[in-house]
């Protein structure tokens, strides 16, 4: 129930945009200006987009898309940081809903299940949540398919992969993932989701693990994609 106390709180703590800190209406997390500034890839229907090309060098995927481009010091990097380290899980929901709406009538509609890249349980405990969870759940809702978070697990805590060379990255990620019950995934087209793709090593490591299950196809959807490798 709305009370005068709410009004008082609202004056003390007005809602602000997570991008530019300007005041926004209640329950809004990004202002219209910031929303329009986000660098959308709009490459969801192209099966030769840069993300597909990157992942095809590493694994066998059916489709791949990303909502935004990721740039150093850019707005997307700032928002992903808040999503990952500052409990701003609402950003994941917003981006999942946005991408889901864009994927209507796309080949992604043939996916059966949404599967998030899992965190190692120690990292999960430290952070308290998986930052791709809300993104994946909203995406599943829009595509009207199930979200399956517990069946793909990560039993190896990997260090930041970006600073390693390709050979070291592949060695780090090898055997990092496993599946609890492969019958849940057998014969299914899985939509693997993650926050940011940089080298593609983590996603391809997970995809290679999933592709060992009979009849599995893997597609990929992420919030952001770094077109050029990060320094």
Span interacting with Zn ion, options 9-17, 47-55, 135-143, 209-217, rule CB under 5 A = 9-17
Least distance from Zn ion to the Cβ atom of residue 19, Å:
4
User: 3-class SS at 161?
Assistant: coil
Angle, helix 166-173 to helix 201-210, in steps of 10 degrees: 40
Structure tokens at 132: 């791709």
Instruction: In whole angstroms, give the CA distance from residue 130 to residue 49.
Output: 27
Measured from the CB atom, the residue of 31 and 209 that comes closer to Zn ion is 31
DSSP class of residue 16 equals B
Instruction: In whole angstroms, give the CA distance from residue 143 to residue 70.
Output: 24
Measured from the CB atom, the residue of 18 and 114 that comes closer to Zn ion is 18
Q: Among residue numbers 82 through 121, which ones bind Zn ion (CB under 5 A)?
A: none
Site string for Zn ion, 10-39 (x = CB under 5 A): -------x-xx----------x--x-----
Burial 115-138 (b: 16+ CB within 10 A, else e): bbbbbeeeeeeeeeebbbbbbbbb
Least distance from Zn ion to the Cβ atom of residue 78, Å:
11
Least distance from Zn ion to the Cβ atom of residue 37, Å:
8
Measured from the CB atom, the residue of 19 and 205 that comes closer to Zn ion is 19
Q: Which residues bind Zn ion (CB under 5 A)?
A: 17, 19-20, 31, 34
């Amino acid at each position: 129930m709305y009370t005068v106390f709410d009004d008082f709180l609202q004056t003390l703590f007005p809602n602000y945009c997570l991008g530019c800190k300007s005041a926004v209406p209640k329950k809004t997390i990004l202002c219209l200006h910031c929303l329009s500034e986000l660098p959308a890839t709009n490459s969801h229907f192209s099966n030769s987009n840069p993300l597909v090309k990157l992942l095809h060098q590493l694994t066998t995927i059916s489709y791949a898309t990303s909502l935004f481009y990721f740039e150093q010091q850019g707005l997307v990097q700032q928002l992903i940081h808040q999503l990952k380290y500052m409990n701003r899980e609402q950003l994941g929901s917003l981006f999942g809903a946005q991408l889901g709406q864009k994927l209507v009538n796309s080949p992604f509609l043939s996916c059966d299940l949404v599967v998030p890249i899992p965190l190692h349980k120690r990292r999960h405990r430290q952070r308290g949540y998986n930052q791709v969870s809300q993104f994946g759940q909203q995406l599943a809702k829009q595509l009207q398919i199930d979200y399956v978070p517990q069946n793909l697990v990560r039993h190896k805590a990997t260090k930041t992969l970006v600073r390693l060379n390709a050979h070291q990255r592949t060695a780090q990620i090898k055997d990092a993932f496993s599946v609890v019950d492969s019958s849940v995934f057998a014969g299914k087209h899985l939509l693997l989701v993650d926050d940011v793709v940089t080298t593609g090593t983590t996603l391809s490591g997970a995809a290679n693990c999933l592709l060992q299950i009979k009849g599995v196809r893997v597609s990929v959807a992420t919030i952001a994609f770094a077109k050029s490798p990060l320094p």
